[in-house]
Amino acid sequence: MGNANSAMLENIVQGSNFDRDEVDRLRKRFMKLDKDNSGTIERDEFLSLPQVSSNPLATRMIAIFDEDGGGDVDFQEFVSGLSAFSSKGNKEEKLRFAFKVYDIDRDGYISNGELFIVLKMMVGSNLKDQQLQQIVDKTIMEADLDHDGKISFEEFTKMVENTDVSMSMTLGMPVTLQPHFVSCANALQTNSRRK
């Protein structure tokens, strides 16, 4: 059993931007978050962290971590989700994570409706729906290079290519995604360095 567990951890290390010690610390943090000892972190367990529950994009972040769409996050998904936030994560990984925030239906494109939903999460009632829709329409129009009415990953990448991905990954809005995600990622890793 120990060898199988060790092999599983080694596979997780190989598929992430973390070394073995970091994965071990993340495993300890994961086990603390898994309050019901089910081997997975459910939505309510994620939301029990104040830094996550107060984040307007928390539900999107949880959905991205839940790679198989099963409704909960296993350890491999947990490490994979946090991997993009590692200092060893490259620009494309960070861009793919940001893209997934908007690609709610996971079809590889950001539609007008998806962009509206995510930006609405971010701005709340600070903008009227009509104002927000105008921003969404303008963003789609400017980013949609092949004029198919949606934004592909390549178009998204071109749109944000002149931004510092580690600081700003949003689509033409004054609110940035990165601080929201870093806040959640930091909350998930808190105490993972402690024994």
pLDDT value of residue 87: 77
Q: Say if residue 195 is exposed, middle or buried (CB neighbours under 10 Å; 0-12, 13-18, 19+).
A: exposed
In the chain, where does the domain assigned CATH 1.10.238.10 lie?
Answer: 2-87+184-189, 91-175
- Residue 69 and residue 73: Cα distance in Å, rounded? 9
The CATH classification of domain 2-87+184-189, taken from the options 2.60.120.10, 3.40.50.450, 1.10.238.10, 3.40.50.1580? 1.10.238.10
Phi, psi values for residue 80, rounded to 5° = -60, -45
Taking the alpha carbons of 81, 120, 110, 157 in that order, is the dihedral positive or negative?
negative
Element spanning 115, H or E: helix 112-123
Taking the alpha carbons of 42, 44, 47, 53 in that order, is the dihedral positive or negative?
positive
Q: What is the DSSP string of 123-157?
A: HGGGS-HHHHHHHHHHHHHHH-TT-SSSEEHHHHH
Retrieve residue 11's tokens: 């596979």
Give the chain's length: 195
Q: Each residue's pLDDT tens digit in the chain (195 positions)?
A: 456 677 888 899 998 888 899 899 889 989 998 999 999 999 888 888 777 788 888 889 889 999 998 989 999 999 998 888 777 778 888 889 889 999 999 999 999 999 999 999 988 899 999 999 999 999 999 999 999 999 999 999 998 877 765 444 322 333 334 444 444 444 454 434 443
Do 30 and 78 touch, CB atoms closer than 8 A?
Answer: yes
- Residue 60 and residue 41: Cα distance in Å, rounded? 15
- Residue 22 and residue 121: Cα distance in Å, rounded? 32
**Contacts made by residues 27-34, CB under 8 angstroms, sequence distance 24+:** 27/75, 28/192, 28/195, 29/188, 29/189, 29/190, 29/191, 29/192, 30/75, 30/78, 32/191, 33/188
* pTM listed for this prediction: 0.78
Fold of 91-175: Recoverin; domain 1 (1.10.238)
